Amino acid sequence: MTVPSAEPAADAWPPILIALAALVSILPLLLHGCSCGHDFDFHLLNWMEAARQFSQGGLHPHWAYSPAFNAGEPRFVFYPPLSWYLGAALGLLPAHLPGVAEAAGWSAAPVLFTWIALTLSGLTMYRLARAFAGRGAALLAGTLYLANPYMLFTAYERTAYAELLAAAWIPLLFAAILRDRVSIPRIALPVALLWLTNAPAAVMGSYTLALLAALRVVSTYRMTARTDAPGRAWEAWIAGRRAAMELALKTLAGTALGLGLAAFYIVPAAYERRFVQISMATIAGMRIDENFLFEHTGATSDALPHDTVLHTASVIAVVLLGATAAVLGGTLILRRRAPSRVALPALSPALPAAFPVLPLGVLTAVVAWLLTPLSAPIWKHAPEAAFLQFPWRLLAIVAPVLALGVAGAVDRLKRGGPGFAASRRWVGDSRAARTPFVAVSAVVLAAVMTYPAARVFRQPCDAEDTASARLALFHSGAGSDPTDEYTPTTADNDALKPNAPLYWLADSAEAAAPVAGPSAASLAEGPGTAPMHFTVVAPRAEELILNLRDYPAWRISRNGAPDAAREQRDDGLIAFPIPAGASTIDIGYARTRDQTLGDAVSLLALVFYVYTVRRNRPASGDRAKPA
């Protein structure tokens, strides 16, 4: 009689426990409601705007209509899509559930988003740690990662939901470059996910991948080229060079493929940045040199809140960096004391790989240096580094190193002999990994880390800032403030006025919108965005002004003929002359060449990705390996 394997049942428990630990981490949100952190309004508006366009059949919007007081901006061209796709889906979900009000659904959407992001982060961290440790230690790493101070700072105080979701892909990036056999699709997937989720996280991830890959290339060459056999030095040198070159090429190819998969976003965002004031993303308070650890920027009304947040982030950085250094140092000591892993009983079908202390230690040291003014020349000259804005964002790279280091240390404790018997309950066989001790420990760890973080980081909501209040404002049609970096280059936000009609007629292109009384504003009552199709009757030749900001993708026709004679306005609204009589105006957001090119590249990359996955499928069980 064949005895069923216990492995599938053992593997089912850690994901459930990680989801439960993530639930504990959002318990303050379930009890007290959303945290109205720094980016709460921005993301909620993105989700509502995307949800409305989804409902109208626009599955991949580029233009956001409600910002800039309904004059709009090309926000979705430049902000990666995965976070607002997920947020919009969570906001739309209650509309299909009986008895759930729309306001209640949108109030729940940020909480659900946070839980999903934390759960995914814990699961990917578990998968990474599982290559180096037993189930219990990997579960500890997953729980520690999803509830680490920087993660909860991002979730509660900053409410930077895209960065929070991007944290789920960083462990996949580590796993891709630290495993035994680096493959193109394993590199490509996290690269693509990062670029489609959050641009700063993608920049950090790309540089992290480059550093770890360089360390591993050097290590691979040195290990392969080493030989004690006389007369074999030349062959060893050739083998080392070949192995290092193969690793470098696979990493480069995987990175290129990942960029190709995300090209439908990257190509338009890169090309069309010339049409917007993208440099406004690095104005005062958002520059690298003003955000090094414990920097002070002044005593003005803007500087004081900035310095408060910077001080909080700096304290978190010191804690995480110190803990990571201690854990990696302890792991190195334990590795020297522990017996060889060959003498151990298997914790899984394959023994855990040797822990990559050196590359993770180098990475941690580099991050610590980048958080200080000594690294200013690097930030100034490295491509796209300035758009990271806050060097302490690199704590998103340190947090998985800390969690992985803890898993490695706990796993080493198990190898340390009889004096470490207690740790065996964490890293023992599959039966031990399912014990109530492990489950309770994971939940307690999440609770212990969440309670102080929620008390310190959670931001209370004023009445006008709640999700239901923002939904009411969104439905009111009043629009919202513009975003400086997404403002077209032809527009001045200071000249833009709220409560403009949908369109109006005037004697000159620079005429302000009429505010009251029997005027041309009666042609289209506002506020709101100019309709995409309408007919206007002008008593004489006049200027038609639309409450819609000019942008190269807009195509306008009058009576079926293209009308390109647009006038310049300080506020960036579209204005053009029309003759006396009836004019039928049609407006459409055209598919530009850069968008077509990006879509074509992504489609080709997807085909190649599927091909490489099929080709590499037999190697899916390879173990991880240090750089």
Verify that 417 and 510 share a domain, yes or no: no
Closest CA to 587 of 48, 72, 215: 72
Q: Within a domain: residue 477?
A: no
Number of domains in the chain: 2
Q: Given a cut of 90, is residue 513 above it in pLDDT?
A: no
Residues 496 and 373 in one domain: no
Whether 381 is covered by a domain: the verdict is yes
Are residue 359 and residue 412 in the same domain, yes or no?
yes
Q: Pseudo-torsion of CA 495, 497, 501, 507, nearest 10°?
A: -40
**pLDDT at residue 310 is higher than 60:** yes
Q: Is 565 left (phi over 0), alpha (psi -120 to 50) or beta?
A: beta
Work out the average pLDDT over 189-218.
Answer: 96
Q: Do residue 570 and residue 612 come from a single domain?
A: no
Tokens representing 491? 């527009």
CB-count exposure of residue 110 (10 Å: 0-12, 13-18, 19+): buried
- Are residues 572 and 610 part of one domain? no
Same structural domain, 367 and 514 = no
**Strands lying side by side in the sheet with 503-506:** 503-506, 542-549, 573-578
In 3-state terms, what secondary structure has residue 291? coil
Q: SS3 of 561, please?
A: strand
Asked if residue 200 has pLDDT above 90, the reply is: yes
pLDDT tens per residue, range 34-44: 999 999 999 99
Q: Please check whether residue 624 lies inside any domain of the structure.
A: no
- pLDDT per position as a tens digit, 275-303: 999 999 888 888 999 999 999 988 787 78
pLDDT (tens digit per residue) in 575-623:
999 999 999 999 999 999 999 999 999 999 999 999 999 887 754 444 4
Place 411 in a pLDDT band, splitting at 50, 70 and 90: confident
Same domain, 355 and 497: no
Is residue 7 situated within a structural domain?
no
Give the residue-averaged pLDDT of 230-250.
75
Query: Is residue 607 located within the same domain as residue 584?
Result: no
Asked whether residue 195 is domain-assigned, the answer is: yes
Distance from C-alpha of 247 to C-alpha of 250, rounded to nearest angstrom: 5
What is the distance between the alpha carbons of residues 457 and 35, in angstroms, rounded to a whole number? 9
pLDDT attached to residue 2 = 45
Is 471 inside a domain boundary? no
As beta bridge partners, residue 537 has 582
Do 199 and 310 have their domain in common? yes
Instruction: Answer for the pair 581, 544: CB distance below 8 angstroms, yes or no.
Output: no
Range of the domain at 512: 492-549+554-589
Q: Do you find a cis peptide bond into 527, omega within 30 degrees of 0?
A: yes
Question: Cα(108)–Cα(129) distance, rounded to whole angstroms?
Answer: 32
Three-class SS string for 165-224? HHCCCHHHHHHHHHECCCCHHHHHHHHHHHHCCCHHHHHHHHHHHHHHHHHHHHHHHHHH
Do 339 and 248 fall into the same domain? yes
Residue 467, domain member (yes or no) = no
Task: Give the closest residue to 44 by CA, choosing from 349, 616, 335, 465.
Answer: 465
What average pLDDT does the chain have?
A: 86
Question: Can you read off the two tokens belonging to residue 524?
Answer: 């289209």
Is residue 11 one of the residues assigned to a domain?
no
Pair (426, 559) in one structural domain:
no
The residue with tokens 């069309």 is 272
Residues 421 and 522 in one domain: no
Whether 134 contacts 167, CB under 8 Å: no
Q: How far apart are CA 537 and CA 543, in angstroms?
A: 12
DSSP reduced 3-state for 446: helix
Following DSSP, what letter does each residue of 377-436 receive, concatenated? HHHHHSTTGGGG--GGGGHHHHHHHHHHHHHHHHHHHHTT-GGGGGGHHHHS-TTGGGSH
